[in-house]
Amino acid sequence: MLAMDTISVSAVSFVLATLLLITWNYYVHRHHEDARRLRLILDRIIEHRKIADFSFLGKTTIDQRLKLRSKPNARLNLTFKLSNSFTTSDQHVHQAFLNRARHAISPAHRSSWGKLSVVTQEILKLSRKHFDDAPPYIPLASFVRVAVFSIELHVLFKIDPSNIDFGEARKATTAINRLWIQSKNPNSMPSLYNQRVLEDALERLLPNEFHREDRTHPLNLIMPAYETLWRVVLLTFVSIAHRNEDSQTTDELQKAVENVPQCFDQKNDAEMRALAIAKEGLRLYPPTKRIYRATSTTDGENGVVAANVEKVHRDRQVWGADALQYKPTRFHNWRRDGTSMAPKQATRPNIDVEYLRGLSYFPFGVGGHPCPASRGFGEKMIALLVVELTRHFGTRQKGSKIHFGNVEVQKQVSAPLPSGREDMENWVLEIEGGN
Ligand code: HEM
């Protein structure tokens, strides 16, 4: 009897120990598999970051970096005749431009966001008068372009809204858009007609800035600011105010409308939530979808590589199954600022999803050439403009409607919006009650 008991106890212990060992092995194996998977994702992210921060070519000097950046921008240079940090290989031109850009966007004191909110409301009202030819319909992309361009004229050159000729602003933004689309086609030459329309419009809008000298031409400053902002503002506004079906996201917009701009620079919960709206817009619709670098500084060698910012920002393995949906709450309590971490930190041994997300988010670039707008100006401008557009036009819930001119886009509210320039041209906003 005793022997039987002893056998059954040892049999049970044996079975238990075996089960424990199998479970242990299973978890160790899974842990290794997870770590291997995360390491592969990390390697992929680092590949893109290394292109953006130039380290794919090892250690580089400032002169080499400027050349590697300006070479792929040659067509942009041919089209807009820019002489700024993006098109120059001259250190002095770069540094002088960078200082000018930093100075232009550094708001003098806290009350400037309050003032900018008032100016933005005025600009939206004045722009509306130029788009009132077919009420209650407004061509949304053209409207947002004119409004953002005019706000940039105020921010960068201190032009009062009452002195802005919105007809000229419309001509200038249409010409920029057409020239930009043409510049993407390697077989097309810049349209002399659009170049002249743009030049004449700028001369009328900014007579005091017009010195006909490449280095001081106002377009040098306008292009990096206006061209990055208008599309992300349009796409974020449409995503949050007109396509969103998630009640939590609707609440976030409501709170931002109550708190922006008073919450700016308060470092409180309201500011964090309002800026999350901008961060999520920049994640899903990064204005710089790809950061291009030449593969060699040698003249005549024309290889180009690209860091695919949009792809990294939308990776499901990093951002989750809802990566393609607009959800600002994913940025609540996000600890990083707009500038991206130094890649050296990417050698950290413990990799988790939070860490990968941190490395996977770089709307303002990576490494030693951070965008001056990454220190707050860019996100605040986006949040402010989205809030003011919401105050001005209302939301889907309040009765306004967007006609996308495309059956699929109209139907699939949870898919990301098409964000190519030409995709947005047919979007029409129908204003509730036509007012
Ligand atoms: C949301 C708005 C903006 C976004 C997403 C953005 C994005 C970027 C990106 C990705 C880069 C890095 C380019 C590279 O590595 O080749 C960059 C650099 C730069 N950006 Fe912005 N930008 C924004 C607004 C602005 C504004 C308002 C200005 C001011 C006029 C500006 C001026 C510059 C300058 C001067 C650089 C070059 C910095 C350097 O080389 O040291 N950006 N920006």
Tell me if 224 CB under 6 Å of ligand 1: yes
Strands 428-430 and 137-139, how do they pair? Answer: antiparallel
Dist. CA 193 → ligand 1 center (Å): 29
Q: Tens-of-pLDDT digits for all 435 residues of the chain? A: 555 566 678 888 888 888 888 877 777 777 777 788 889 999 999 999 999 999 999 999 999 999 999 999 988 888 999 999 999 999 999 999 999 999 999 875 667 999 999 999 999 999 999 998 899 999 999 999 999 999 999 999 999 999 999 999 999 999 999 999 998 888 889 999 999 999 999 999 999 887 766 678 999 999 999 999 999 999 999 999 999 989 999 999 999 999 999 999 999 999 999 999 999 999 999 999 999 999 999 988 889 999 999 999 999 999 999 999 999 999 998 876 544 554 444 455 578 898 999 999 999 999 989 999 999 999 999 999 999 999 999 999 889 999 999 999 999 888 999 998 889 999 999 998 755
Beta-carbon contacts of residue 300 (< 8 Å; ≥ 6 apart): none
Check if 218 has its Cβ closer than 6 Å to any atom of ligand 1. no
Rounded distance from Cα 299 to ligand 1 centre (Å): 25
The model's pLDDT over 147-166, given as tens digits with 9 standing for 90+, comes to 999 999 999 999 999 999 99
272 C-alpha to ligand 1 centroid (Å): 22
pLDDT of residue 419: 92
The verdict on the CB of residue 225 being under 6 Å from ligand 1 is: yes
Please choose from 293, 371, 382, 419 the residue to mutate so as to test ligand 1's pocket, defined by most ligand atoms within 8 A of CB: 371
- Identify whether the C-beta of residue 130 lies closer than 8 Å to the C-beta of residue 146: yes
Ligand 1 site, residue 358, Cβ cutoff 6 A: no
Cβ-Cβ contacts under 8 Å for 275 (sequence gap 6 or more)? 331, 379, 380, 383
Tokens of residue 399, six digits: 């009765």
**CATH number of the domain to which 413 belongs:** 1.10.630
**What is the distance of C-alpha 2 from the center of its chain?**
76
Query: Can you give the pLDDT at residue 109?
Result: 62
Give me ligand 1 centre to Cα 288, in Å. Answer: 9
Nearest CA to ligand 1 atom 39: 369
Long-range contacts, 107-116 (Cβ 8 Å, 24+): 107/377, 110/264, 110/265, 113/261, 113/264, 113/265, 113/380, 113/384, 114/261, 114/262, 116/151, 116/154, 116/155, 116/261, 116/384
Query: Of all residues in the chain, what percent are helix, strand and coil, respectively (each to 5)?
Result: 65, 5, 30
Closest Cα to atom 1, ligand 1: which residue?
A: 378
Atom of ligand 1 nearest to the CA of 102: 29
Residue 173, pLDDT score: 98
Q: Is 143 helix (H, G, I), strand (E, B) or coil?
A: helix
Q: How many domains does the chain have?
A: 1
pLDDT of residue 210: 77
- pLDDT for 334-344, tens place per residue? 876 544 554 44
pTM, entire model: 0.91
**With contact defined as beta carbons under 8 Å apart, do 68 and 54 qualify?**
yes
Half-sphere exposure of 429 (CA within 13 A, CB side): 29
**Domain containing 303: what range?**
2-434
Structure token pair of residue 244: 């969103």
Q: Which two tokens stand for residue 275?
A: 């800026």
- Residue 99: how many CB atoms within 10 A of its CB? 11
Tell me what pLDDT residue 185 has.
86
Q: Which residue has the tokens 């242990």?
A: 24
- Ligand 1 pocket, residue 385 CB under 6 Å: no
